[in-house]
Structures are given as C-alpha cells and as structure tokens.
Structure 1
Amino acid sequence: MAKELLTRDQVNVEDTWNLKDMYSNDSDWEEDIKAILGKTEELVKFEGRVCESADTLLQVLELSAFISEKLEFAYNYAARLFDEDQGNTLHQSMNQKIFSIMAKISSDVSFIDPEILACDESKLEEFYDKEPKLDLYKKQIKEVQRLKAHTLSAEMEKVVAMTAEMSNTASEVYEAFTNVDMKFPTIKDEDGEEVELTHGRFVPFLMSANRRVREDAFKAYYDTMKDYINTLASSYSGEVKQRVFHSRVRGYSSNLEAAVNANNVSPEVYENLVKTVNANLDKLHAYVSLRKKCLGVDELHMYDIYTPMISDVAKKVTYKEAQETICKALAVLGDDYVELLKEGFANRWIDVYENKGKQGGAYSATAYGCHPYMLLNYNDTFDDMFTTAHEMGHSMHSHYSNSAQPYIYSNYKIFVAEVASTCNEILLLEYLLKNCTDKKERAYLLNHYLDSFKGTVYRQTQFAEFEKITNEMVENGDSLNAENLSTIYKDINERYYGPDMISDPEIAYEWARIPHFYYNFYVYQYATSFCAAVAIAEMILTEGEPAVARYKKFLSSGCTDAPVELLKIAGVDLTTPAPIEAALAKMGEIVKELEELV
C-alpha cells in the first residue's frame, strides 16, 4: 500500500482507462455538444404537433433517440474525466456543463410525452399502419402510456424538467465534500508506520488481521465523519426533500412508489424483501456468533466485521492474478464471454488504482456505441478480485444488451442491474471452492461466501430499511437531522446484528459514508439481485449450456420488458419471496458447514 496517494499524472498510463476510445480530444466532445444542441433546436420546432401525422411522430421519435444517444455518450466522457480526478477544475467545468445541457434539453423536449399521451389510441394505430418505421417505437410508446397517470401537462413537465439541475445539488455537494474537501488523519499501519486514512483505504484497514489497526481506522474515520455530521445530515435531508417534491408533483403516494415505478417494479417487491430478511435475521445472528467464536474475542465490535474469520489464509491478489482467475472461473459462460473479458483487460477499459481526487469505490459505466468503462480502486486484496469480477459483470451485461438491442431498448432497468455482476462473483467463488483442496482454505472461502450474504443481502436490506424510514419521515412532515438519522441507523444496526455484536457508538454515523443513499432507493436491488444470482449460478453449474443460453438471452434483453419478467427468462421469479428464502436458507447451510470445519 502506497504511503501517499499518487497524483493523476503520476499514474502508469497502462493502468488507466483510455477515454480516447470515446473522443480523441476535448474539441471533438465540444463538436458533439454543438451537434446535439442543433438537433434539439430542430426537435423543439415540433412542439404542439408531435402527433400531427405519422411522419411527424416518426421524426420526433428519431430526433429524440438521436439526441438521447449522443447526449448519453457526451455525458459519459465528461463524467469519466471528472471521476478520475475530481479536483481537476477543467473536468469539473465540463461535468457541470454537460449537466446543465442535460437539464436544459430535458426541459426543452418535455412536451413529447404529454403530446403522445394526448393522442388517441386509434389515431396511433392508424399511424402504425401508414408508417412501418414506427414499429420500432411501439414498446417505447407503451412505456410512456404506462406512466400516464404520473405524466403532467406539457407546460408542467417543462417546469419540472427545469428543476433537474437544482435537484442534483445535494448529491453534488455530498460528492465534492466527501471526495475532495474532507480530510482524514493518519493512523499507524501493521508495521507501525504513519499512513494517511482515505475512503479507499478504510475497508482494507478494517480487513487487517491486526485488531489495533482495525479499531484505530474505525474510530479515526467515524470521528472525522462526526466532526461534519451536521453538514452531511443537511445534505441528505436536501436529497430526500427534492424526492418528495418530485413524487408529489407526479401524484405518487410515496417516494418509494415513484422510484420503483420508474423501473416498472411494484413497491411490494421492496417491502417483501425487507419483511423476508427481517424474518430471517436468525441466520445473520448465527453468522455473528460464529464470527465471534472464530476470532476468539470476548466482545465482537463493528470494526471486527470485515476481517476474515479464518486467519493466516488471506493472501494478496495482484491485479494480473485476479484477471487470470476471473477468466478461468467464468469459462462456464462460454468462449465468447471469456474473450470479451480478455479484451476489456487488455484494451484499457479499466481505471485500476486509486489516485488523489479519484472517485471512491468501483463502478461500470457505458455509452451506446463504445465499450464499457470500469472504475476500480484496486488494493491487491482478495475482495478487490471479487470487485473486479463484479464490475465486469456489469460491463458484460451492458455489452450484450448494447450489441443486441437498438439504443432505445439497450438500457436495462436498474432493478436487474446487479444480477450479472453478482452472478459473476458467485461463479468465481464456486470455482475457487471446487478447486480448493485445503481444509483451512475452504473455510476461508466459505467465510467469504458468508460475508457476501452479510454484505449484499443483509447489509443492503438494512440500508433499504433506513432509506424507507427516513423518506417516510420527511413525507410525514418530520425533519431529518444528525441526531435522529444517527439514532435510527444505530437502532437498525443493533437489531440486524443481534446480541453478540457490540454496536459501537461510532457506527451511528455510518449512514453518512454511504453514497448510495443519494441514488433514490437503489440499494435494495443489490439484495434482490444477489438472491436472483444465487439461483442463476446454481442453474448454470448444474444444467450447463441450456442455463447459459437462457442467461445470455436475459443479458441481451435490455429493457424490452418489465425487469421482473426479464428475470423469468433466466429462471427466477422475484414476485414471490421464494428466491430470497432459498438464498438465505443456503446461507444457513454454509454457516453450519463452516462451524463444522472450525
């Protein structure tokens, strides 16, 4: 681990993503912006006559698709530049510029959906008969019609669209404050050397076998969060308030309903997850008890939750080693899948290591017409290998959908976004277990499997519950502040982890470090997707090619149907609690096996 972070210009270029695959230079990006604005000027001339004829409707839909595709492409370029160093003022300006343009265009073209909704169904059918090219847009029009009850007049849609840039303020403040302005102290590492604490180093420190390092990192990190907790609470409160505005102006009963309905998912799926997980907290409590036993401590603290339960087995995994192992593990998905993996690794789809100002965490992003891009903050840990496999799952999902679908149907809904990524992780873990001959190493891998259940099903549902409660508070007229946010979070944490876990005072501030709370009810999908992925991986490993074929059909489906229906192609039905119950039953079995091994 480097003692000080490198600046962006000090990073080995081969370890960075190649954004020239999008634009050879910033001037080309500027030219695309001009073209987008020019096409937008053409499109707005159709206001008031979208459904004047079959030809005008076609022109409107084609122009709209062109603008959306180009705008998404331009946004991704600016966003990737910004994320590689958020302290770069030029890239800050480009990112702000594209957000402003997106907000303006959203307002300018907001007349389209209301005018389509005002068009009589019989008239639309006449248009389809007269203009065969409109067949491509039938599903898109039906999706617009599905949201009719929550679509406003053209004038009101324009007003709401004008709030888009303002509505991003809370998340922009949070990102800038936590990634650029907030500074953490140094702590002593395992060797007794002073090392700067950062977002990227926090979890690796918590994974340390040295309990003093874990505790020092935990307390230093959250003590810093506590110093700024009122600012962070105000930022989150602002995020929730803007959601309330948008959900109410569109006639939704709650923020939750507005968020999930946008993805054509019922709120019952969300509530079913929280209910089913809470009914199965005994598995998490058993895991906590086993962790306490394995670590041999009188008291288990929250800073003990990341370190492996099985000691002296964890080893560093270099980025090169991770690539090789991932390709072997995912060979069950076919030669075409593995060749794409190798292409991504070899051709700089990935920004690998942490540098000053770089966005924390990891993600995959893609723009139609270019390969996916992945951001990592690789630290040579076992978990980093799994993160790489996870993000490659996102990238492959995007590649398959973009290759199979026209632009307007290529963007799969967020609800299914975590299925492919998690399936990759599970297949990697099952591969490692299958090829493991050492009893202690198997125990270590089972530990990792349990940590995945803990971190993805239970932890994300814990987040989902916190998000639901805090949004409902604002909806009911209550205010959010540092004190009640921290109290709510700590209470949920105590309930989830049970009596064998000491919920340290510092854990009350953990909500403030979770950027996903600004993603509008995103996190529950990690949990539902994990449960779906457990089922899909099992089918792939037991059935072979038929299951792989179904899975790739799902990956290639984009947003051609409701996400719950698309998952049924792969063999999973999340309209019932069965996949969640089955996944948590599997966790219970793994806990018992690990208990026997240790």
Structure 2
Amino acid sequence: MGKELKKIKKRNEIPDELKWDLTKVYKSEKELTAELDEIQNEIKKVDELRRTLAQGSVFLKTALKHYFKIEQKVVKTYVFASMLNDQDTNDKKSQGLFSQVQQMYAKFAAAFSWLEPELLTLSEEKLNSYYENDQELLEYKKYIEDVLARKDHLLSDKEEKVLASASDIFSTPENIFGILNNADLKFPQVTDEKGNIVELSHGLFEKLLESDNREVRKNAFQALYKTYDQFQNTFAAALAVNVHIHNFQANIRNYPDAISAALESNNIPISVYDTLVEKVNDKLSLLHRYIEIRKELLELDSVHMYDLYTPITKLPDQEYNYENSKKIALKALNVFGDDYTHVVKKAFESRWIDVVENVGKRSGAYSSGMFETPPYILLNWQDNLESLFTLVHEMGHSMHSYLSNHNQPYQYSDYSIFVAEIASTTNENILTQYLLDNTDDLEFKASILNHYLDGFKGTVYRQTQFAEFERWIHDQDKAGLPLTSQELNNKYANLNEHYYGPKIVNDPEIALEWSRIPHFYYNFYVYQYATGFAAASALAKKISKEGPKSYLKFLKSGSSELPIEVVKQAGVDMTKPDYLDDAFAVFEQRLNELEGILKKIKIKQNRN
C-alpha cells in the first residue's frame, strides 16, 4: 500500500529520555536571567581594575581572577542558550534568549578589552618579580605568555573595546545562515524507498542518499538543491560578508591575511595547511580508483554525485537503533579502560544526549558544554550505521571535554580547535577496528571497510576540498573581487570536478553545495577535520599496540601546552608530513583489502 505521509515530530512529542536534560545547567530560564543580572553587576566593577596591573602582583592576580570568574559565567549562559535555541530553532523565546546572551558576551568582552593591552605594558622583569612574590600567579603564567606572544597583533585599549563591542554584530552572517538553513527553508515532500511520502529534511536527506534505489537518491538530491537554488543569492551575501569580516579582523590586527590570523591564534604553522592540500592533491588517484570500484559494484554506466553515499556492499540485517548502538559503542570504547567507559555510561543514563530529530532542530550533530556542565551531545538519529559512528565520534569530543575539564583549571580546560577533531576521529578508527576484529562475515567486513573508505573520502578528501575553497573565497575578497553566487558556484563546480576526476558526472546541483555548509562560517576550521582524521589513524594504531596511556594523557591536557606539542606527546608530530603518508597508506591498504574480500564474495556467489 505505502504512500503514508511520515511527519517529523514536534519537540513536545519526543520522550524525555531521548532529550538532553538542560536543567543540569540552569533549572529554569528564570535562573538563567538571574545569572545574566549577576554578570551585569560584575561587569560594572571591572573598570575599577583598569590601570592597576603595574601596582603589584596582587592587582594582576585580582584582575585575572575576576576576568576568568566572569568569563566562566558568560560561557555557561552561552552554552545553555545556544543549546536551547538549537533544540528548536523555531522557538521565538529561545531565539530571544540566545540573542540576549550574545549581547552580554559582547559587553563582557568590551569591559575587559583593556586587559591584554595593559598586560603588554608589563616588562618581563616585572612579571618575573610578580611570579616570585606570588606563587599563585604561576597558575596564569601560560595565559600571560600567550598574550605576550600576540603583542604585534593587539591594538590599543580603545580599539580593542570597539572590536569587542562589535562581536555580536560580527556573528550576524553566521546567525542569518543558521536561521535560514535550519528554520526558514521549507523542503518538499519526496518518496522514500518503501514508497512512503516523507518530508525532506537535513537528516533524512543523508539517509535517502544511502538508499539502494537510485531514483530515490536522485530525487532527494535534486529536491534539496532546488530549495537551496531559490535562496542562493541570500546565502552568497551572508557568506561574502562573513569572509569580509574575517579579512577585516585580520587586516586591522596586522596579519598578512585571514588564514595567518586564524592559524596563528593556535600557533599552527601555515605549512601544516599547505602540506595537507599538497598531499591530498598528490593522492587524488586513490580517490578516483575508489570511485571506479563504486561504479563497478553498483553496476552503473556513470557515477553521479548522489551515488557517492549509498553503501557499495549490503549490510547484513542488523538493527542500528539507539539502544543497540549504545551497547556496541561501550564494547568498542572499552579499549580505553573502565574509568573512560564509566563516564560514557553516565552520558547514556543521565540524559546528556539529545537523540532524535524534531521540527526545527538544528541539523547535524555536535558536542557542547563547558567547565561546569556535562559535555552534552546533539544528534539527529536515523537508525543506520552512520548514526552509530556519529555517536562514537561525538562521544570522543565529549570525553575529551570531560577529561580536560576534570584535570585542568578553568583557564586551561578548553582545548584548541586544532586538536578538537583528533579525539572524535580516533574513536571512529577504534570502532572500525573493533567491528572488523569481531566478525568473520565477509559481507559485514566489506561493509565496514566501505564505511571507513567513505569516511576517509568525506573527511580527508572532502574537507580538504572545502579547505581549498575556503582559502579561495578569502583570497577573492582580499583582492577586492566579487563573491556572488555565480562566482561561488563556478569555483565550487570546478574544484569538485578536479577532486573527483573524470570518473564522475559533475552534476550541476553540486555547484550549490557551498551554500549549505555551516563550517564555511567558522574561519578556517574545516582543514582540521582532515588533519585530525590523519592523526587519529596514527594514534589508533599506536593505542592498539601500546595501550591508551599516552593518549589519555593527551585527552587530559586541555590547553596547558601548545596544541602541536600536546599531540606530539601522544606520539604524532603534525609539523611533518609523515602522519599524512601513514593515513594514505591505511586508506590504500583497506582499499586493497576491500577489493580482495569482494573477489572472495563473488567467487562464493558463483559457486552457489
């Protein structure tokens, strides 16, 4: 019969056990409002601390303590309001609260805009005498040294205050994108592989692209991009302004370009970025080979962009519902020891996870939280293998946050974004190896290898493609060249054709993919997915041979040292290209392994 319209549930129709419990942050919105009032009062006292740092160590310590005390409260309000907003972006009250918190963040930043410039007036000799006089100040020494290292890029007290006051204005393009992408876009109805008429959504789109039915994939692909096509000029305008803001901020802070500003903030050499792009371009032939395997196994005359996500091997019947997936995740992550899995169980049992999709919910998945809160996880569960991997991926982020928060003081508890994707993708690698090691089923092994290769394609190749595009849009703006939808479409289409090569049809719709990628608003973030995945490959191999001791130390380090040094202590030197060579070696090895298994399956089928 089929033809049943399946509607996405509203927030109030979702069972509580599948929703995160934000009362662990604030028991009510009233409590949040009271916290904001308290922050406002604390901010009023900040001006009393100005021009006191040179008067003695006790004044510097007082100023730093007050700064981190208020920051901690502001970050907590931001985490709460952003998650409240993300769980239902249609909720006007949540939108208002989030806007209010963003404004408070700007006020806080403006109130302390004098702190770093005034720190720069203190001589090294004076600071050393402060450390000798007050050992408690040593807790802030790395923070002070990081500020001093940015001396050439900090502005005057007045200029810093102006920039800080405009922080909520600078976030406007990203906010416009978020509201348009998650709340205002209305996707059409499509037919799934069972003949049901369903409402297309971000989460369902990804599931439909995995369908065995090519017409289902094609129709979902075309329907989604037809919607984006209607708003491509608005998306282009938002992205162009966002890029211009990045270049403006870099220029005013005396950086040669936006990429230098973004990477130097984490002490990452640009050579790390350049080496990634160079290495990936050198290895595009492996991606083309994988696409050729897809074409052969799917028995296609030609491969289209909507053919890249459907599994090329059929998974044996196994229910990847949320309950079963939690059990698999715990078994796989057991390699990290009982202390680690104890916290994972707590995450499952204490409602740290928002599991299923609802109307207005932010698309995708992420881990959030801060020093005082649980490391929450947002999911849009789809009962497939990809959702299991997403759960394990986000749990990697959350465990990284949990261990950093519980082993570092507040000021060093938040790890650098450069290392942020390492823990998550290490978890994915661990899960892949666990699934391969615990089956003799050739078809299941083939499907897991297929998943790994797809993950590598999507993380190393695709994110590096994004990284090239991101650098281009910033270079275009810096040169005073336009970033209209036409220029963005043309560049993206050409770059896509270069990456995927002659073995694939460069569908015209793919030119619009840039318009739905939130990470292009994150200021040179995407390359770290690729470097993180490659580093995780090396770390996962090291953990399987030597155990998790050095890796767990990495998870506990927070920002207590430079990010490059933190990873190096775990066993991977990301200033050298070796880790990328190792990652591509694993990709090629598993590509060979998949081909070998598929030949065995074919021989077995012929015999039967």
Tell me how far apart the structure 1 counterparts of residues 433 and 308 of structure 2 sit (CA, whole Å).
Answer: 23
What residue is the counterpart of 1:543 in the other structure? Answer: 546
Cα pair 1:6 1:355 within 8 Å, conserved: yes
**Is 1:249 aligned with 2:249?**
no
Asked if the contact 1:564–1:575 (Cα under 8 Å) also holds between the matched residues in 2, the reply is yes
Give secondary structure in 2 for the equivalent of 1:418: helix
Written as runs of structure 1 = structure 2, the 5 A alignment for 1:64-463 is 64-311=67-314, 313=316, 315-463=318-466
Query: Match of 2:54, SS?
Result: coil
Q: What whole-Å deviation, never above 9, does each CA across 1:154-173 have from its counterpart, x for those lacking one?
A: 11111111221110110000
Letter of the 1:373 partner, please give it.
Y
In the alignment, is the contact (CA less than 8 A) between 1:308 and 1:314 conserved in 2? Answer: no
CA–CA distance in structure 2, aligned partners of residues 316 and 173 of structure 1: 38
Kept after mapping to 2: 8 A contact 1:315/1:382: no
CA distance in 2, matches of 1:398, 1:337: 12
CA distance in 2, matches of 1:93, 1:465: 36
What letter matches 1:534 in structure 2? Answer: S
Instruction: Give the match for residue 469 of structure 1.
Output: 472
Shift in Å, 1:208: 0.7
Identical aligned pairs, as a percentage? 42
CA deviation after TM superposition for structure 1 residue 314, in Å = 6.6
Q: 1:483-521 CA deviation, whole Å, 9 max, x = no partner?
A: 110111111111111111111011000111111111111
Unaligned runs of 5+ in 2: 599-608
Q: Which amino acid aligns with 1:112?
A: L
Q: Given that residues 315 and 447 in structure 2 are in contact (C-alpha distance below 8 angstroms), is that contact kept between their aligned partners in structure 1?
A: no
Contact map agreement 2:315 2:444 (CA 8 A) in 1:
no
* Contact kept? 2:393, 2:427, Cα under 8 Å: yes
CA separation in 1, counterparts of 2:388 and 2:249?
A: 39
- Report how far residue 367 of structure 1 moved: 1.4
**Residue 580 of structure 2 is aligned to residue 580 of structure 1:** yes
Asked if the contact 1:315–1:381 (Cα under 8 Å) also holds between the matched residues in 2, the reply is: no
Contact 2:449 2:590 in 1 (8 A): yes
Partner SS state of residue 441, structure 1? helix
1:132 & 1:594 partners in 2: Cα distance? Answer: 58
Q: State the partner residue of 2:565.
A: 565
Are the aligned partners of 2:396 and 2:427 in contact in 1 as well (CA < 8 Å)? yes
Name whichever of 413-422 and 438-447 sits farther off: 438-447
Q: Say if 1:554 and 1:569, in contact at 8 Å, map to a contact too.
A: yes
Q: Is 1:52 matched with 2:55? A: yes
C-alpha change, 1:312 and 1:527, in structure 2 (3 Å) is closer
Q: Secondary structure at the match of 1:51?
A: helix
The SS at the match of 2:561 is: coil
Deviations 1:294-319 (A, max 9, x none): 11101100000000011354744000
Of residues 5, 15, 20 in structure 1, which corresponds to 2:18?
Answer: 15
- Alpha-carbon RMSD across the aligned residues, in angstroms, is 1.1
Cα distance in structure 2, aligned partners of 1:314 and 1:244: 51
Map Cα deviations across residues 169-216 of structure 1 (whole Å, 9 max, x no partner). 100000001111111111111122211111111110101111110000
Q: Which of 27, 31, 52 does residue 28 from structure 1 map onto?
A: 31
Distance in 2 (CA, whole Å) between partners of 1:313 and 1:469 is: 43
Distance 1:269 1:523 in 2: 13
Q: C-alpha offsets along residues 422-448 of structure 1, whole Å, 9 cap, x if unaligned?
A: 111110110000011111111111101
Taking the TM superposition and a 5 Å limit, the aligned residue runs for 1:502-513 are 502-513=505-516
Change (3 A) 1:41 1:589: same
Aligned residues: 595
Runs of 4+ residues over 6 Å off in structure 1:
none
**Aligned-residue offset at 1:453:** 0.7
In structure 1, what residue type is equivalent to 2:423? A
Q: Which amino acid letter does the alignment assign opposite residue 279 of structure 1?
A: D
User: Shift of residue 2 of structure 1?
Assistant: 8.2
Kept in 2, the 8 Å contact 1:453–1:587? The answer is: yes
SS in 1 for 2:190: strand
**Structure 2: distance between partners of 1:343 and 1:252:** 45
Partner SS state of residue 195, structure 1:
strand
For 1:283, give the aligned amino acid.
L
Whole-Å separation in 1 of the counterparts to 2:498 and 2:357:
35
Q: Which SS does the other structure have where 1:412 is aligned?
A: coil
Q: What amino acid is the match of 2:497? A: E
1:278-301 CA-partner distances (Å, limit 9, x unpaired): 111111111111111111101100
Cα distance in 2 between the residues matched to 1:170 and 1:281 = 33
Give the superposition deviation at 1:530.
0.4
The one-letter amino acid of 1:455's match is G
User: Does the 8 Å contact 2:232/2:515 carry over to 1?
Assistant: yes
Kindly provide the amino acid, as one letter, of the partner of residue 458 in structure 2: G
User: In structure 2, the residue corresponding to 1:187 is in which secondary structure?
Assistant: strand
Provide closer, same or farther for how the CA distance between residues 375 and 228 of structure 1 changes in structure 2, counting only shifts above 3 A. same
- 1:488-567 matched pairs, under 5 angstroms: 488-544=491-547, 548-567=548-567
TM-score (normalised: structure 1): 0.98
Asked if 2 retains the 8 angstrom alpha-carbon contact of 1:490 and 1:507, the reply is yes
Q: What's the offset of the Cα at 1:450?
A: 0.4
Which amino acid in the other structure matches residue 584 of structure 2? L
Are the aligned partners of 2:71 and 2:108 in contact in 1 as well (CA < 8 Å)? no
Letter of the aligned partner of 1:543 in structure 2?
Answer: E
Q: Is 190-199 or 385-394 further displaced after alignment?
A: 190-199
Partner of 2:593: 593
1:236-292 deviations in whole A, cap 9, x for unaligned?
A: 001101111100000011111111111121111111111111111111111111111
CA contact (8 A) 1:419 1:532 kept: yes
Q: How much has 1:412 moved relative to structure 2?
A: 0.2
> Aligned partners of 1:196, 1:73: CA distance in 2, in Å?
35
3-state SS, counterpart of residue 328 of structure 1: helix
Letter in 2 for 1:435: N
Tell me how far 1:48 sits from its aligned partner: 2.3
1:271 is paired with a residue whose SS is helix
**Post-superposition offset of 1:43:** 1.9
User: Would you say the 8 A contact 1:470–1:480 is kept in 2?
Assistant: yes
Answer with 83-92 or 305-314: which moved more. 305-314
Q: Distance in 2 between matches of 1:76 and 1:46?
A: 27
Where 1:522 maps in the other structure, the secondary structure is: coil
